[in-house]
A and B are shown apart, each in its own frame.
Chain A
Amino acid sequence: MEVLGYLIPISLTLGAVGLAAFIYTVRSNQYDDPEGDSRRILSDEWDDRPKPD
């Protein structure tokens, strides 16, 4: 049962990492246009290099 001592903190940390990642995506406007983003992948513009900001 000592293994729980490792596994519980690990699972909690992974959960926290996931949450932090999600909050980052919300903050950086990644859910503003889900439909458009899923179509833009079909575009061949900026296939060779990223679009400059």
Chain B
Amino acid sequence: MLHILLFTLVVAAISTVCIAPVALALAAWSWRAGTKGLVLDALAALPLVVPPTAVGFVLLEILSRRSAIGALLERIGVAVLFTPKAVVLACAVMSFPLMFTAFRVAIETTDRRYFDVARTLGASPVRAFARVTLPLAWRGLLSGVLLAFCRALGEFGATILIAGNIPGRTQTMALAIYDRVQNGNDHEAAVLVAFVVGIAWVLVSISSILIMQQRRRLDA
């Protein structure tokens, strides 16, 4: 059971680390773009509202041999479907909107004037963002990372479609709980649930504290 927990944590961590730079870059772009950014905001939020199985289906189609991307991956010998890579991919896609949205809010709550003033002091947009906006938003950003990590821990619908539920290979906590309940092993399921709830509760609490601190600091 411990290795399931460990596997889930590692997969969620990799997925979170992979999407963080992308989410940050897109959130920054969207912030600067103003109303033009709204299109991206809506697009990025999609996996949050459509059924995870629908996302899984789309990923399955993209990665299957019939598609150009699937064919290319096969030619270079990279297998994704029904491997741990697929678990990471499902986690990444499903937790991306949460991270992106949290980043967007975190950046938005920093006063834009600091960024503007930094530019009048000779800083390029990238430098002004890195040296002023990011340090002011770090609590909100970290909270977004934690939320995305928790979302990845609990990912089920897309994972089961593209990674299957292979014990010892692609089985995460969420899949293992499903498995135990299906087999009538309620005791083990309960232990797994306790683990997941415990971890998520701690991380979400930290995330909320960070958001509260950021708000207070910026109000002061």
User: Are A and B genuine complex partners?
Assistant: no
Identify the A interface with B (CB < 8 A): none
